[in-house]
Amino acid sequence: MELMLLLFIFVLAGFLGFELIAKVPSQLHTPLMSGSNAISGITIVGALLAAGADDGSTLTTVLGTTAVALATINVIGGYLVTDRMLAMFKKRKVAKKEEGSQ
């Protein structure tokens, strides 16, 4: 019964997240992405705790290490996407031609 409840909460969170993100205007995607990156950083802390758990189980260590790797990839990828999105809003510098230099 507990597994069904957890599965229900997971599916409900997925649908709710999809609906919320779909309704965000394009001007707010960059700040939203930055906030998501901060939350993903917290995920790394939880993954490190799981990887370092001293319960004598190899499975816990392997799953924790995998979680650390995937969360790190998620954070780095998120910051790269945010940086690229912010670069789209920067003004390009136009090289000025010096008058009379021919």
pLDDT digits (tens, 9 = 90+) for 7-50: 999 999 999 988 887 888 877 776 777 777 778 888 889 888 88
- Asked, for residue 58, whether it belongs to a domain, the answer is yes
Q: Could you tell me what percent of the chain has a pLDDT over 70? A: 89
Q: Residue 49 is part of which domain span?
A: 29-89
**Residue 68 burial (CB < 10 Å; 0-12/13-18/19+)?**
buried
45, 97 Cβ separation under 8 angstroms = no
Q: In the chain, helix, strand, coil percent, each to 5?
A: 75, 0, 25
**How many other C-beta atoms are found inside a 10 Å radius of the C-beta of residue 102?**
5
Residue 101 located in a structural domain: no
Three-state DSSP class for 14?
helix
Q: Do the Cβ atoms of 36 and 78 come closer than 8 Å?
A: yes
pTM for this predicted structure: 0.58
Mean pLDDT of the chain: 81
> Rounded to an integer, what distance in angstroms lies between the CA atom of residue 20 and that of residue 16?
6
Name the more confident of 93 and 72: 72
Instruction: Please state the domain count of the chain.
Output: 1
